[in-house]
Structures are given as structure tokens and as C-alpha cells.
Amino acid sequence: MKIRLLPRITRWHPIATTLILAGTLAAIARFTYGLGATTNLSDEFPWGLWIGFDFLGIGLAASGFTIVAAVHLFHAKEYEPIVRPAILTAFIGYMLVVLVLILDLGRPDHFWHPLVMWNPHSVMCEISWCLMLYTSVLSLEFAPIVLERFNILWPIKWIHAISLPLMIFGVLLSTLHQSSFGSLYLIVPNRLHALWYTPLLPVLFFISCLASGISMILLESLIFSRGGRDLLPTRLRANLAKVIAVILALYFVVRVENLLARGAWHELTTVTYFSLAFYAELLIGFVIPFGLLVVERVRNSRRGLYAATLLVVVGFALNRMNTAITGLESYPAQTYFPSLIEIFIMLGITALGFSAFSFIVKHLPIFEPVAVTPRVRQEAVTARPEPVFLTRHGGDLESS
Amino acid sequence: MLIDLTLCVGCNVCQGACKEENQLPPSEEKYLSLTAYTALSKYNDLYIRRMCQHCDVPTCVSVCPVAALSKSEAGPVAYDGEKCIGCRYCLQACPYHVPKYEWSSTKPRIQKCKFCAPRLAKGLPPACAEACPTGATIFGERDELLLEAARRISAEPTKYVPRIYGKDDVGGTSMLYLSPVPFEQLGFDARLGKIPMPMLTMSALSKVPNVLSVGGVMLGGIWWITNRRSEVAAFEASEKKGETPEHEDKP
Ligand code: SF4
Ligand code: SF4
Ligand code: SF4
């Protein structure tokens, strides 16, 4: 069957090609002329759009580890159909982030240094390690899909043998670096605006990545179910929606309670650039979607869910961008706006990601939409033991 | 080094000596830059010398993922451009905004005051301290300088505010300051406490082994328990025949 990707964007190919070309040119410029000439970064604002993009990419790719934990560790097998798309998203997300990170480094040729030169006190070092290890884990989780396509089955068995520790390791690594992105800012209490700085940053980053990760799963299950087939039946979607609502509430309570405890709420009583950014983030990403998701009718409707999860993701993006950019603009009264080259590189890489996704979806068995009767996989050789990544024994696959 | 602001006349000889020592272009500069490892900023009629504080527990050293920055026993916080990957975390994290980045280079490095490490190794004082004509900047052992600073404050309590900046700010620094006015009026960030900044991160980083071990056991346990549950459920279902096994809805 054919699944049309993002059907509403017509002429996707020329757009993507243009963006990727522009991004490539921008990247060439960045390498030829250095960071100073091509970005708006400065000594006072050494991190900008690209770091924000990394936060975003990693946060949205959290769908990968949440779904693996749910299906394979918590045995919520009925969510199986969404595992592959989620792993693919995560895999591509991480690849893009690694790409952006390397572009962002002043010395891309030294990118491998963290592997051999350690500094256990550095959050950045921990993140480098987690990123690298988790990308490897994702590759291993993704490999069976590729291998299966080419009918090379012996490594799958091998991967299957280590799959449980592998998955646990992956979930732990994600927990670590998802929160560590927050820890990056623990050391700049004097720079980061009080509305965003809190010793709880790692905790908040982790909680919010769960919400956005699951929202991404839902979004994917909705986007890719066009054409009458659903990846997840309504009941399961509604369940996930409930989980998101709980996580949003948890986040809200922790965040607000912390603001009150630290007295930072004073900042909210006046209308400033910062308080507006804060309100926007909290309302769009947490309050409104929570309000929507507690309504059963919204949870059960495709459009309602679509809107709510999209809000969560947008609010999440605002939160990360606020932490990475807005919050730092308070000190030392610096403003920063990314240069065109920074923007083009980011757009180009995003387009690359989408193109890779649609290419892979076309050529590999990623989607197994819920059919009226559970289908037997065509590709799997039934005589061999089925590796865990290939199994489709959900049992209660129902159509909605 | 001890920098007594009451003695500084703003002659900028320290910057000149520093530039000569480090072979930097000799033009006078008002702010720290790639070519000025030290600079004087003026507050009313006071000059305050900015430079790397060579913190005792340096933030820059703690954040650098590849240990390109290091604190030596003798005091200097040194930088190794061969290791640096250019993540610019040190620029972001330094509480005094000291490291400067060679943005225009394609092989950029960090630049900052080196505490004249080569001179110290030879038993010489830093070029800036040696050049200072008024004794506003003096070089010595940190303990002795602290005693000297305390002595100056108690000898002339009306002249100084009773505080030696750097004694234990952000965990103590190699640069010590004496001032006639509160330091907050001189552009020193009042929000920096006495706790070394790296401690803020340590509390989070120290949990990593816990997350790995406790988390690993927990996840393994959950897998085991839920697995068992679905087995039981499947078994019961097959007993009753025909009923679908009930799973946990928890994702
Ligand atoms: S002042 Fe900044 S650059 Fe100098 S040692 Fe301290 S943290 Fe490092
Ligand atoms: S820019 Fe270089 S010296 Fe500074 S933290 Fe990064 S790797 Fe270390
Ligand atoms: S210690 Fe050396 S490098 Fe640092 S400001 Fe003085 S002369 Fe310059």
C-alpha cells in the first residue's frame, strides 16, 4: 500500500531540494569563512539557533525511547504498530542533531575529541557520550528493519539476543541526556533569566520531553493514518492522550511550585518580553493542551488530538528556544537573532530529515497500519525465530 | 595577584606590558578582547582591571568536555588549543565573561589571560604586575596577599570597603581586589555567590551513576513483572478460551 507523506504540502520535492541546496551552500560558506562571518554568534552570545535546534530535535525524538519503554519494557504490546515509525523518527532526529552539532563546533575536525579526552565534570562531555551511545543503540534498534528488507537475517538474531539490555540501556541514556540538556544551564544562574533558571532544570527538561515525545507518537499515528487506515485505534490514542495530560499537569505543578518557591514569579507581574515569552510557552504548551486533553471528546476525536498534541510540540519548542535564546538575552542585555546562513543551514537540515524519512518509508517496511484483520508479515520468514523487533503479536489489534 | 583599586591611576601600563609579553598588537583597548587579555574599565574616577580571575575552582575548566582548559597547582588556568573542539561552553559559562573566541578564524581558538605561566615557571612575576608603576597590581603567594589585603583594610578602614573580592567569591580566585566602593558598583556581578559554580552542575552529574544503576534495575524489574503479567494473562485467557488478554494501558 502507499502512504502519502504530508499530503497537504504539494510540490514538496522542489521545496525540499531548494532548501537542501541552500543549506549545503550555507554550510560551505560556514566552513570557508568561519563562524564569525556567517553567524550572528558572539562572545556574549556564543550559543544560538543551532543549539536550540539540537534541543528541539532531541526532545521530539524522545518518541523513540518512550515508545520502546512502553512496548518492550512495560509490555504495552498493543502500541506495537507505532514502534517503527517512532524509532525511525528518533534515528533521523539524532542523526540531524549530530550533524548540526558538528557544524556548530568551532573545530569540526576535533569532534571526536570527547571520546578520548574526558572531563567527568562536564555536562557537555556526558551529553557527547550519551548522544553517541544512544545513536548507536538506535542504529541497532533500527538495523533489523533494514536487514529484514535485504533478507539478511543472521545479525537480527544476534541483535535480538541483546535486545533487552540494549533497550534498557537506551532508555537510561535517554533519561540522562534529555535531562542533561537542562543541566547545561545549571552553571549560568547569572546569565539565564530567573523565569527559566532553576536547579530543577534537568527534571523539568525530562518531564517535558516525555510529553513531547508521546505527543510526537500521537502526531505520527495521526499524520500517517491518512487514507482510512489507522496506526493506532482510537482507544489507544485516547489512553496516550490521558498520559500526556497527566505529564503536562505534573510539569505545570513542578514548574509553578518552583517559581513560587524561588520568588521568580515576581517577574510575571509585569509585562515584559520575558514574561510574555514565559506565558506564551506555558499556555500554548501546557495549559491549553491540558485543558483540551482532559475532555474525553477531544481525546476520542482525531482533530482534537491533532490540535492538542501539536500545541504540546509547539509549546515544547517555545520552551527550549526560550531557554536557549530568550532567557539568555536578559544578560548582559544582549539580543541575538540568527543570521540567514544559520537559518538556511537549519532549514536545509530539517528538509534533509523529512526527505530521508519519506525515502525510508517508501523503501522499508515502517508502517503496518491496522487493517481489519491483523496481517501476517510478508517479509518475515515464518520458519525462523521472530526477533523481538519484528514481532507483531499484539493480539488485540482492532480497527477503529 | 592583589589589585588595589585605590592605587590604580589608569595609566594602562599593565595592558601595554601584557601585549608586549604576549606579542599582541600594541593599540590601547578598553575591553577584553582577542588582543587584550587585560583591560581597564572606568567607574566614576575608579579604574578596575579586568582579566581572567584564574578561579580556584574554575567554571571554564569544569565545563570543558575535552579538558582543554586546566588549572595548575601554581595558579594559572591554561588552555590547550589542540584539544579544544570549539563548543564555546567556556564562553557561555565563565562568570566573568573572560574567554574570547576567534570567530573570524576557520580554526578558531580561545584567547584569554595566561597568568604569564611561562614567566611564573621561570620564577618571574607576571609582566603586568612587574610593569605596574604604582603597585596597584602586586604578585605573590595567595596566602600572603590575603594577609596583606587584610592588613591594608584594618590599617585604613575608612579607605576600603571591608571585603577582599576573590577571597571566597565563586570559591576563591587567584585575583584579589581591594576597593573603596562596594564591588557591585564596579560591575562585579552581585549574583555570583561564594559557592563555586561547578558545584551547581555536580549535584546533577553526581546522580548519573545512580540513574544508571537504580534505573537499570527498575526497568529490568518492570520488564520482568509486566512480562510475567502478560504471560499470566495469556494463560488465563487461554484457560477461559476466546477472551483477549487484558494488558496494562500504561505506556
Ligand atoms: S575567570 Fe573565567 S576563564 Fe578565568 S578561570 Fe575563572 S572561569 Fe575560567
Ligand atoms: S570552546 Fe574549547 S576550551 Fe572552551 S569549553 Fe569548548 S572545548 Fe573547552
Ligand atoms: S598575567 Fe600575563 S597574560 Fe595575564 S594580564 Fe598579566 S601580563 Fe597579561
Per-residue pLDDT tens digits for B5-36? 999 999 999 999 999 999 999 889 988 999 99
- The answer, yes or no, to whether residue A308 has pLDDT greater than 90, is yes
User: Cβ–Cβ of A123/B229 closer than 8 Å?
Assistant: no
Which residue do the cell numbers 520468514 mark? A381
Phi first, then psi, for residue B223 (nearest 5°) are -60, -45
Helix and strand numbers, DSSP H then E, in chain A? 15, 0
User: Cβ–Cβ of B247/A35 closer than 8 Å?
Assistant: no
Cell numbers for A273: 518580553
Residue A181, domain extent: 14-380
User: Cβ–Cβ of B198/A121 closer than 8 Å?
Assistant: yes
- In this structure, what DSSP letter does residue A233 have? -
The domain made up of B2-203 has a fold known as: Alpha-Beta Plaits (3.30.70)
- The answer, yes or no, to whether residue A372 has pLDDT greater than 80, is no
Instruction: Look at residue A94 and give its three-state secondary structure.
Output: helix
Which residue do the cell numbers 505545570 mark? A252
pTM: 0.84
- The answer, yes or no, to whether residue A114 has pLDDT greater than 90, is no
- Nearest alpha carbon to residue A186 among B218, B89, B153, B49: B89
Q: Which residues pair with B177 in a beta bridge?
A: B3, B165
Per DSSP bridges, beta strands B100-101 and B77-79 are unpaired
pLDDT digits (tens, 9 = 90+) for A180-208: 888 899 888 888 888 999 989 999 999 99
- The answer, yes or no, to whether residue A9 has pLDDT greater than 80, is no
Dihedral over Cα of A7, A9, A11, A16: its sign: negative
Looking at every residue in chain A, the average pLDDT score rounds to 82
Q: How far is CA B143 from its chain centroid?
A: 21
Residue nearest ligand 2's atom 2 by CA: B84
- The answer, yes or no, to whether residue B156 has pLDDT greater than 60, is yes
Which of A87-91, A227-231, B57-61, B115-119 is predicted with the least confidence, judged by mean pLDDT? A227-231
Question: Nearest 5°: CA angle at A365, between A364 and A370?
Answer: 150
User: Cβ–Cβ of A35/B108 closer than 8 Å?
Assistant: yes
**How many domains are contained in chain A?**
1
- Residue B152 makes CB contacts below 8 A (sequence gap 6+) with B4, B160, B178
Residue nearest ligand 2's atom 5 by CA: B64
- Residue A352 to residue B133: CA distance in whole angstroms: 61
Residue nearest ligand 3's atom 1 by CA: B115
- Residue A152 makes CB contacts below 8 A (sequence gap 6+) with none
- Residue A156 to residue B19: CA distance in whole angstroms: 63
Ligand 2 mutation target, pool B34, B59, B88, most atoms within 8 A of CB:
B88
Note the pLDDT of residue B89.
92
Cell numbers for B46: 575608579
Which DSSP helix (H) or strand (E) runs through A353?
Answer: helix A340-363
Nearest Cβ partner for A44 among B97, B222, B245: B97
- Cα A209 to middle of ligand 2, angstroms: 27
Residue nearest ligand 2's atom 4 by CA: B90
CATH code where residue A358 lies: 1.20.1630.10
The atom number, within ligand 3, closest to the CA of B22 reads 3
- Residue A63 to residue A50: CA distance in whole angstroms: 21
- Burial code (b: 16+ CB inside 10 Å, e: under 16) for A145-176 equals bebbeeeebeebeebbeebbebbbbbbbbbbb
Instruction: Answer whether B37 contacts ligand 3 (Cβ < 6 A).
Output: yes
Which residue do the cell numbers 502478560 mark? B230
User: Cβ–Cβ of A34/B108 closer than 8 Å?
Assistant: yes
Taking a C-beta distance cutoff of 8 angstroms, is the pair B35, B209 a contact? no
Q: What is chain B's alpha carbon radius of gyration, rounded to the nearest angstrom?
A: 27
- Cα B151 to middle of ligand 3, angstroms: 26
Per DSSP bridges, beta strands B100-101 and B2-4 are unpaired
- Cα A142 to middle of ligand 1, angstroms: 43
- Which of B29, B103, B224 is the mutation pick for testing A, counting most A CBs within 10 A? B103
- In this structure, what DSSP letter does residue A151 have? T
Q: Which residues pair with B4 in a beta bridge?
A: B178
User: Cβ–Cβ of A113/B91 closer than 8 Å?
Assistant: no
Taking a C-beta distance cutoff of 8 angstroms, is the pair B29, B49 a contact? no
- Residue B14 to residue A97: CA distance in whole angstroms: 45
Taking a C-beta distance cutoff of 8 angstroms, is the pair A36, A45 a contact? no
Nearest Cβ partner for A214 among B99, B200, B251: B251
Per DSSP bridges, beta strands B176-178 and B2-4 are parallel
Q: Identify the nearest ligand to the CA of B69 by its number.
A: 2
Note the pLDDT of residue A229.
66
- Cα A99 to middle of ligand 2, angstroms: 19
Taking a C-beta distance cutoff of 8 angstroms, is the pair A68, A314 a contact? no
User: Cβ–Cβ of B205/A117 closer than 8 Å?
Assistant: no
Cell numbers for A64: 523513540
The atom number, within ligand 1, closest to the CA of B54 reads 5
**Chain B residues with beta carbon closer than 8 angstroms to that of A77:** 230, 247
> Could you tell me which chain A residue has the CA closest to the CA of B217?
A168
**Chain B residues with beta carbon closer than 8 angstroms to that of A75:** 223, 226-227, 229-230, 247-248
Top-confidence residue, A4 or B198: B198
A201-223 and A234-262 helices, crossing angle to 10°? 160
Pocket of ligand 1 (CB under 6 A): B 52-55, 58-60, 77, 94, 96, 98-99, 112
CB pairs < 8 Å spanning A and B: 199
Question: For residue A341, is it within any domain?
Answer: yes
Nearest Cβ partner for A186 among B67, B106, B204: B204
Taking a C-beta distance cutoff of 8 angstroms, is the pair A248, A290 a contact? yes
Top-confidence residue, A249 or B242: A249
User: Cβ–Cβ of A175/B205 closer than 8 Å?
Assistant: no
User: Cβ–Cβ of B248/A74 closer than 8 Å?
Assistant: yes
- Residue A138 to residue A90: CA distance in whole angstroms: 8
Note the pLDDT of residue B240.
65
**Chain A residues with beta carbon closer than 8 angstroms to that of B84:** 106-107, 110
CA–CA min distance B79, chain A (Å): 14
Instruction: Encode chain B in three state secondary structure.
Output: CEEECCCCCCCCHHHHHHHHHCCCCCCCCCCCECCECCEEEEECCEEEEECCCCECCCHHHHHCCCCCEEECCCCCEEECCCCCCCCCHHHHHCCCCCCEECCCCCCCCEECCCCCHHHHHCCCCCHHHHHCCCCCEECCCHHHHHHHHHHHHHHCCCCCCCCCECCCHHHCECCEEECCCCHHHHCCCCCCCCCCCHHHHHHHHCCHHHHHHHHHHHHHHHHHHHHHHHHHHHHHHHHHCCCCCCCCCCC
pLDDT digits (tens, 9 = 90+) for A142-191: 888 888 888 888 888 888 888 888 888 888 988 888 888 888 998 888 88
- Residue B85 to residue A35: CA distance in whole angstroms: 13
- Residue A347 to residue A30: CA distance in whole angstroms: 15
- Cα B223 to middle of ligand 1, angstroms: 47
Nearest Cβ partner for B101 among A46, A76, A117: A46
Taking a C-beta distance cutoff of 8 angstroms, is the pair B21, B38 a contact? no
**Chain B residues with beta carbon closer than 8 angstroms to that of A110:** 66, 83-86
Which of A310-319, A320-329, B31-40 is predicted with the least confidence, judged by mean pLDDT? A320-329
Mean pLDDT of the region A359-367: 82
Banded model confidence at residue B188, pLDDT cuts 50, 70, 90: confident
Cell numbers for A169: 540501556
Instruction: Answer whether B40 contacts ligand 3 (Cβ < 6 A).
Output: no
Question: For residue A187, is it within any domain?
Answer: yes
Dihedral over Cα of A107, A108, A112, A114: its sign: positive
- Cα B201 to middle of ligand 2, angstroms: 17
User: Cβ–Cβ of B84/A107 closer than 8 Å?
Assistant: yes
pLDDT digits (tens, 9 = 90+) for B127-148: 999 999 999 999 999 999 999 9
- Residue A199 to residue A177: CA distance in whole angstroms: 16
- Cα B19 to middle of ligand 3, angstroms: 8
